[in-house]
Amino acid sequence: GILTTLSQTNGKYKYDYATIPFLAEVFKLIVSSVFLWRERKKSPPPKMTTDWKSVRLFPIPSVIYLIHNNVQFATLMYVDTSTYQIMGNLKIVTTGILFRLFLKKKLSNLQWMAIVLLAVGTTTSQVKGCGEASCDSLFSAPIQGYMLGVLSACLSALAGVYTEFLMKKNNDSLYWQNIQLYTFGSIFNMARLVVDDFRGGFEKGPWWQRLFNGYSITTWLVVLNLGSTGLLVSWLMKYADNIVKVYSTSMAMLLTMVLSVFLFSFKPTLQVGFIAVV
């Protein structure tokens, strides 16, 4: 969230943000291919299921992640990074529900209480106090930002739970599973760029000619960060679970708030500071 906000100019993206997920998918595909190549040189070789019944399941999370990544960029045009990070914790709520419904895994009463408290805390942290300059709006950001934030949380949870199901359904090599996931991800993200070309009447040229237009060092860091995060998440899905993922992600909330104060002159409200620390 911080890197994406830093890559903006006057609140807008000088680059086509649809190119970021595409390049991140290509980066993850290359890294996974290198690791699989190294793994296959060992004995015994890793297990690799290649039948179509197994492979055909991987396009589904790729499409969900495609939508989610683009929703993330749109959300950060309406809300600040600290608000975005706090709203991102709604993933714990949606993940907990989907975790129970689809993976049939039980959560303890304490875990459910934590999920409910997090949902309440996330909501109240965004309510403005009437002691502030204006009480015309109840919340501290445009409603579009909150709607996109909730959509992002739902998509992230759905993609995460489904990916965990795929990763654990057999004993295939993690890197082979990653290659399947990121191959479809690269294809779908490229298709999105092609569709944008047709919608724009090729006014700015074909997508491969404008791929790096407006890129800066910060933009490349966004690509690297998104790609690295995806690789780490796939490891968590294979060897841990979604609940570990969302709780570990929520630990970034306090760091995001502190960095936002220095980088963006963000002034946290009492509610935001309290929920971040708790």
State the Cα–Cα distance between residues 229 and 28, nearest whole angstrom: 10
Neighbours of 131 (CB within 10 A): 6
Q: What is the pTM of this model?
A: 0.77
Across the range 197-219, mean pLDDT stands at 89
Please give the DSSP secondary-structure letter assigned to residue 128: P
Average pLDDT for the chain:
82
Across the range 98-121, mean pLDDT stands at 75
The helix/strand/coil state of 127 is strand
Contacts of 2 (CB under 8 A, 6+ apart): 81, 256, 259, 260, 263
User: In angstroms, what CA-CA distances link 11 with 5, 75, 99, 199, 266?
Assistant: 8, 12, 36, 24, 15
Beta bridge partners of 127: 139
Q: Which helix (H) or strand (E) covers residue 184, if one does?
A: helix 174-199
Name the band, by pLDDT with cuts 50, 70 and 90, for residue 117: confident
**Does residue 4 surpass a pLDDT of 80?**
yes
Please give the DSSP secondary-structure letter assigned to residue 56: T
